[in-house]
Amino acid sequence: MSESYNIKKGIISFILIIILNFIIWRVFFAPTNGIFKLFTPMYGLSLITFLMCSIILVTDIFNSFSSSNKSSNGILPFIISLILFFLGYYLFFWNFIGKFGIAYFSPKSIIAAGGVGAEIWNARENSSLAILYFVTSFIFVATLWNIGFKNQPWEMLSNFVIGISKTFAISFFAIIIYSVLYHPHVTSLFVPTQLFAGVIPWWEELAMTSSSFYHLGWMIAGVFFITFLSDSGKDFLKTILPNFERGSVINFIIILFIAVVSGFLFMYIVETILNLAWDEPFTGGNYTDDPRFRHLHVAEIAAFMLFAHNIIKVYFNNFITSRNKFLNLLLRFIAVVVLGMIVYFFYYSNIGAKYIDRVPGVGNVDDTSLCWSIMSITLIMIHEKFFNTFPLKCKNG
Tens-place pLDDT, residues 350-382? 999 999 998 888 988 888 999 999 999 999 999
Lowest pLDDT segment from 198-202, 309-313, 315-319: 315-319
The mean pLDDT of the chain is 91
Residue scoring higher pLDDT (94 or 113): 94
Spell out the residues 6+ positions from residue 29 whose beta carbon is closer than 8 angstroms to its own. 36, 37, 38, 39, 44, 48, 371, 372, 375
Distance CA 387, CA 71 (A): 4
Distance CA 263, CA 230 (A): 15
Q: Confidence band (pLDDT; 50, 70, 90) for 346?
A: very high
Task: State the pLDDT at residue 393.
Answer: 64
Q: Please give the average per-residue pLDDT across 239-261, as a whole number.
A: 92
Task: State the pLDDT at residue 397.
Answer: 33
Distance CA 311, CA 300 (A): 17
Residue scoring higher pLDDT (1 or 158): 158
Q: Please give the average per-residue pLDDT across 310-339, as a whole number.
A: 90
Q: Confidence band (pLDDT; 50, 70, 90) for 396?
A: very low
pTM above 0.75, yes or no: yes
Task: State the pLDDT at residue 65.
Answer: 52
Q: Please give the average per-residue pLDDT across 292-320, as a whole number.
A: 95
Residue scoring higher pLDDT (15 or 396): 15
pLDDT at 1 exceeding the cut of 80: no
pLDDT at 3 exceeding the cut of 60: no
Task: State the pLDDT at residue 193.
Answer: 87
Distance CA 217, CA 209 (A): 13
DSSP 198: S
Do residues 374 and 51 lie in contact, with contact meaning Cβ atoms separated by under 8 Å? Answer: no
List the alpha helices (DSSP H) in 87-158.
Answer: 98-100, 107-113, 120-148
The Cα-based distances of 242 to 21, 149, 156, 252, 260 in angstroms read 40, 11, 20, 11, 20
Q: Which long-range contacts (CB under 8 A, 24 or more apart) does 178-182 make?
A: 178/133, 178/134, 178/137, 181/133, 181/137, 181/212, 181/215, 181/219, 182/130, 182/133, 182/134, 182/136, 182/137, 182/212, 182/215
